[in-house]
Amino acid sequence: MVYLTLAAGIALLLLCGDILVRGSVALAVRLGIPSLVIGLTIVAFGTSAPELVVSLRAALSGAPGIAIGNVVGSNIANVLLVLGLPALISATDCNQPFIKRNTLYVIGASLIFIGLCYAGPLSFWHGAVLFALMVAFLIESGRRAAQKSVEARSISDETIELIDGVSGLPGRVWLVSGFILAGLIGLPLGAHLTVSSASEIAGEFGISKAAIGLTVIALGTSLPELATTVSAALRGHCGLAIGNVLGSNLFNILAIMGLTAMVAPVPVPDIIVRVDLWVMLAAALAITPFVIGRKNITRTPGLIFVACYLLYIVFVFMPRANEVASIAQP
């Protein structure tokens, strides 16, 4: 029964997250916000709504390992799996607007986050620093979009659909409001089901909550990005997916962990500090040569990315890793 509850929780998170994104995008379009800004912020960040509510719920319910494991694991999955699998179908074009700068932002945010975790546990002021950086990024994105107004106007609604599969937006005001309200109500419920069932499974098998957060929950909450990039790859348009991944990863570190730490202290398990944070940084660095050189992520690098992710999953569940993690787990 607990496995059905976990599946139902993740399914509810994905469904309500998608509904919230569609309602938010429809509202942004009605307000006349440029499509480029919608794609780089509302759409990309909207897919991280499941991670946000899960991390907040986990921290408040005394399962901080799930909170931080969910964010770190999602960022690893976003790069190695979400970019790796579509590359096996169609090459990912890394020559997109603002991609080089956003990649540097993700690497910089990762380094700052690692430094704060070493000074942990993450507290209110750690979270305030991270969230302030998120606000600064949004302001900078808006400024750049305003300077590139012609380019922003050239990004069509079809491009938004390619970024995150957003189509069939609600047209009427009451429907837009209904979408947003349903998303806001359903996401916390899905988070409750996911966190409670994951904690029970971890206790049943004697594994750490951090390991569950790094793998099962992280992969589950990354499914929107994965489904979108695979769909775009089948249509030969997976180039824009890298922007979605970078936006989501930046939001995961700065906004999700920032807000979570501001709400409740987040102890960082020792195994995550010594291993998983560095895997997350290595994943971000892995795409840097492609971005700087404006090269495509082709089938061979994609295969390497996927293989590395599978090896990482095996390592997380290795007895040695679990033993260390369980000792440090609150």
Predicted pLDDT at 327: 44
Predicted pLDDT at 17: 65
Contact between residue 55 and residue 255 where contact means Cβ atoms under 8 Å apart: no
Structure tokens at 318: 């290795």
Predicted pLDDT at 54: 78
2-328 is classed CATH 2.60.40.10: no
Residue spans per domain, the chain:
2-328
Across the chain, which has 330 residues, the per-10-residue mean pLDDT values are 78 71 68 58 63 80 83 91 84 74 91 92 93 87 63 45 50 72 71 71 71 80 71 61 80 91 89 91 92 85 93 78 47
Predicted pLDDT at 16: 72
Predicted pLDDT at 320: 43
pLDDT in tens, 132-144: 999 888 788 767 7
Report residue 166: phi and psi, to 5°.
-80, 115
pLDDT in tens, 119-177: 878 999 999 999 999 988 878 876 776 665 544 444 444 444 444 444 555 667 777 77
**At 297, is the secondary structure helix, strand, or coil?**
strand
Cα(247)–Cα(237) distance, rounded to whole angstroms?
Answer: 18
Residue 280 CA to its chain's centroid (Å): 12
Cα(327)–Cα(324) distance, rounded to whole angstroms?
Answer: 5
Predicted pLDDT at 99: 80
- Of 193, 244, 269, 206, which Cα lies nearest the Cα of 6? 193
Task: Name every residue whose Cβ is closer than 8 Å to that of residue 317 and which is 6 or more positions away in sequence.
Answer: 207, 211, 215
